Amino acid sequence: MKEVKKVRTVCRSCHGGCGVIAHVKDGKVIKVEGDPESPISHGTMCAKGLSITQLAYHPDRILYPMKKTGKGWERISWDEALDTVAGKFNEVKERFGPEAIMIGQGTGRDFESHFSRFGNMLGTPNMLTAGHMCYLSRIGATLTTCGRHPAIDYVNNPKCIVMWGCNPLWTNPDEYKGVSFWRAYKKGARLIVIDPRKGFLAKRADLWLQVRPGTDAALAMGFHNVIIEEELYDAGFVSQYIHGWDAFVDRVRKDYPLNRVEEITWVKQELIRKAARLYATTKPAGIHWGVPTEQTINCTDFTRAAVGLMAATGNLDAPGGNVFHQPPGTRSISEFSSHRSLSNEQRLKRLGGEQYKLAARMTIVTPKCAWDAILTGEPYPLKAGYLVGTNPVVSRANAKEVYKALSKLDFLAVSDFFMTPTAELADIFLPAGTWLEQNHVADNWKFHGYVLARQKVVEIGECWQDHKIFMELGKRMGQQWWDTVEDSLDWMLEPTGLTWEEFKKKGYLRGEPKFYKYREKGFSTPTKKVELYSTILEGWGRDPLPKYTEIPESPVSRPDLTDKYPYILNSGLRTPTFFHSANRQLPWLREIRPDPIVEIHPYTATKHGIEEGDWVWLESPRGRAKERAKFNTGIDPRVIVAEHGWWFPEIKSPDHGWEISNINMLTDNSHESMDPVMGATSLRVLLCNISRCENE
Amino acid sequence: MGCHACEVACKQEHGLGVGPRLVRVIEKSPDFIPVYCHHCAKAPCKEACPVEAISRNEQGIVLIDNDLCIGCRECIEACPFGAMQFDETQEIAVKCDLCIERLLDNKLPACMNVCPTGCIHFAEKKNIASVFEKTL
């Protein structure tokens, strides 16, 4: 029997970061285990990460570059593939300018550094990510408000945790993982859960606030109202470190009396009062918030109001509160991305850049602007694209429009693991490596103060890690890159005094924890204070104070629609087995969750003659999708919550059934529905109806 | 809390595909009900087995001998917890062995090892109550 080699690396089956020990035998990974020495995951691993061997060695995985021919997909060499992409891109660049090429990623496979550098050096400002409504949107909002993203500090034991639209034991693992939350909670932290559904955490919470989906910003303003009225704020901090406190207090007192907040949010005044008191009087207290708060028109305003809560209560950059973790000293992702390579002239051409100024500052485009440009040719046409690890046909709002737009491109290259519905629209398919096939200074874009050594465990087929694809494609287009991926990592690590080889042995680096840094140098905002009154937003002609805007398609704003579409649809229910549109082909995970699930209250079900397990149609003014009904008594009967990301790899036709259960057949991406500065799409509130599928 | 990491860790450890689920979490949000083998002192699976393929070792772990199992499914009928499973590919019954090889290696069972809330424990009967008093 040959010996089993153990390789220490880092998972990336979601946003990643968990330590892994991979067991390798005969050049194949036979098993993965959690790394007990990981400072992020402490030896735990989730269902997704544990299934990596089923992904990496899946019989349907594409292991070679392919081109689409009249007879279907055909295997080609890397040389031919890269020459084709570079040739097409150069052609478009010459005829229409580099801005006519869009590059896009999903939640990414930790190649953000190389992705942005490639785009900047190509000269295109049109970079699509998920960032308009996921993570980057909070980076943007916190940047304008307090200079940096304040992540909850579980290590220093918050005494009160506000879990706001988030279940880190299942998903949302951007900084600390569920295990870190759980450890802090088990040490006796009080727990406030804000969630439209009663789940595992809500059941254990000291207080559960069952909020109307999408109204989190109003609820945050309600918290402020209590904190101001009862003078629970940190007067010293407020007077010294908050810009625009008086104007903010006026806004809160005038526009957000608790009776109005109750009316907007459906949360009883007394409960809001209790929760605000508990948060403001328990020190330290931290807020951990999730994407549902961001995937609405109130994206930026909610995050700003939440930062206001951290600031007003003196929990900002206080140990056990929400802190600015110190970066570990590598070159920042921003420096690596070489944003300066993109000329001002090109930067000004960013689609939607004038309208969505915060997205532009975060160097991204909200996808709607790209689809508009492709379909209408305005303000100029997009002709070609490169999509990396993203499946927008399934994962972006208004799927029909996405499909139409991508189909219209003159040339599309995709890199991924499988032939997804999006990949099927491509001309060239580039086979990407999984995290088992990747060398990288992982987590370098996160705000938890760590970088982690993800080292290549195996090579599979002719798959390349995405970083290498960007580099080799870039070189063929005349861009300056390093010889190897590892050389680029050496450069990233240079300021730490470590080479990639040395870092690999070390495993991780952590920035020295330091608190109350603002006392020395203020906050990284124009006024050096926490800008509850944002001078940046004011400069953009936007409301400088946080507020709640009624969702454009809600029972309140569109009573004319409620006869036909009486329910609020909250789309994007996360599961612990799937990562957005990924993993549906992995047997271990699909066995746990074979079908797309929509959760409804049994009362709602009875009204429509629906029994648990029935297939049901969900229908909005834009389209319909089919999911399987699951009852949840901990959900408001007026609300329906549906899973996203569904397509069917087992359907072998090129559409792979993307229209059947895709919740984005229902979602809206109209400009009116999006966050006015970030372009966040409204995924958590739209109107829908439900009916039993006949003949199923 | 329904993360199902234990289920996948178990499948990986035992090389099982779709079908047999030696540990399983049933979701009835906000409640999550784990289904697992209790390694009963007087094990109904063991008693039901017509060929004595199921035994209980000195540590109290109830084990099934793959070579002796004839795939009659009597044990599956007998188990009150739904913990006995059938593997269609091998055409035999399969069950939790508490990761006996890992235990010999001084490692925790795979399911317990990955659990982020630490809700999975194993111990002898007289000790398990105190474990739960401490953790719950």
Q: What is the pLDDT of residues A569-598, one digit of tens each?
A: 999 999 999 999 999 999 999 999 999 999
Is the pLDDT score of A29 beyond 70?
Answer: yes
SS3 assignment, position B12: helix
Residue with tokens 């909002």, as numbered in its chain: A141
pLDDT tens by residue, A498-520? 999 999 999 999 999 999 999 99
How confident is the model over A81-110, as pLDDT tens digits? 999 999 999 999 999 999 999 999 998 889
Mean pLDDT of A536-560: 97
Question: A333 CB near a chain B CB, below 8 Å?
Answer: no
Q: Are the C-beta atoms of residues B56 and B63 closer than 8 Å to each other?
A: yes
On whether the CB atoms of residues B92 and B69 are closer than 8 A, the answer is: yes
The pTM for the full model equals 0.96
Summary count for chain A: helices (H), strands (E)? 26, 27
Cα–Cα distance measured from residue A632 to residue A625, given in angstroms and rounded to the nearest whole number: 20
Q: How many CA atoms lie within 13 A of A474 on its CB side?
A: 25
The 8-class DSSP code of residue A65 comes to -
Q: Looking at beta carbons, which residues of chain A come within 8 Å of B17?
A: 587
Q: What pLDDT, on a 0 to 100 scale, did the predictor assign at position A1? A: 58
Q: Does A199 touch chain B (CB under 8 A)?
A: yes
Residues of A in contact with B4 (CB under 8 A): 47, 576-577, 592
All residues of chain A having their beta carbon less than 8 Å from the beta carbon of residue B12 are 31-32, 50, 53, 588
- Chain mean pLDDT for chain A: 97
Q: Do residue B5 and residue A587 have CB atoms under 8 angstroms apart? A: no
pLDDT of amino acid B123: 79
CA distance A157 to A319: 8
A51 CB near a chain B CB, below 8 Å? yes
Instruction: Give the separation between CA A353 and CA A653, rounded to whole angstroms.
Output: 38
CATH class of B5-135: alpha beta
CA distances from A347 to A26, A90, A333, A357, A441 (A): 49, 19, 18, 12, 28
Best residue in B4, B13, B88 for a mutation probing chain A (most A CBs within 10 Å):
B4
Write out the DSSP string of A242-295: EETHHHHHHHHHHH--HHHHHHHH---HHHHHHHHHHHHHSSSEEEEE-GGGTS
Question: CB distance from A50 to chain B under 8 Å?
Answer: yes
pLDDT band at residue A176, thresholds of 50, 70 and 90? confident
Q: In this complex, which of B12, B13, B113 lies closest to A43 when CB atoms are compared?
A: B113
Q: What is the largest CA-CA distance in chain A?
A: 75
Tell me the chain A residues in contact with residue B115 when contact means C-beta distances shorter than 8 Å: 44
Residues in chain B: 136
Give the model's confidence band at A209: pLDDT under 50 very low, under 70 low, under 90 confident, else very high.
very high
Q: Would you call the peptide bond into A555 cis, given omega within 30 degrees of 0 as the criterion?
A: no
- Kindly state the tokens that stand for A31: 């098993």
DSSP letter (8 states) at residue A495: G
Residue A629 has pLDDT above 60, yes or no: yes
Q: Which domains does chain A have, with CATH numbers?
A: 66-135+337-446+450-510 (3.40.50.740), 147-324+527-539 (3.40.228.10), 559-692 (2.40.40.20)
Residues in chain A with CB shorter than 8 Å from the CB of B33 are: none
pLDDT tens-digit readout, A183-207 = 999 999 999 999 999 999 999 999 9
Q: Are A286 and A321 in contact (CB under 8 A)?
A: yes
The CA distance from A367 to A133, in Å, is: 10
- Could you report the predicted ipTM of this complex, rounded to two decimals? 0.95
Domain ranges of chain B: 5-135
Q: How far apart are CA A561 and CA A548, in angstroms?
A: 22
Give A171's pLDDT tier (boundaries 50, 70, 90): confident
Mean pLDDT of A4-31: 96
Helices (H) and strands (E) in chain B, counts: 6, 6
Residues on chain B bordering chain A, Cβ-to-Cβ distance under 8 angstroms = 1-5, 7-9, 11-13, 17-19, 21, 29-32, 113-118
Size of interface A-B (CB pairs under 8 A): 84
Tell me how far apart the alpha carbons of residues A65 and A10 are, in angstroms, rounded to a whole number: 26
Q: Stretch B31-51: mean pLDDT, rounded?
A: 95
Instruction: Please check the confidence at residue B135 and state whether its pLDDT lies above 60.
Output: no
Q: How far apart are CA A633 and CA A525, in angstroms?
A: 45
A34 has pLDDT over 60:
yes
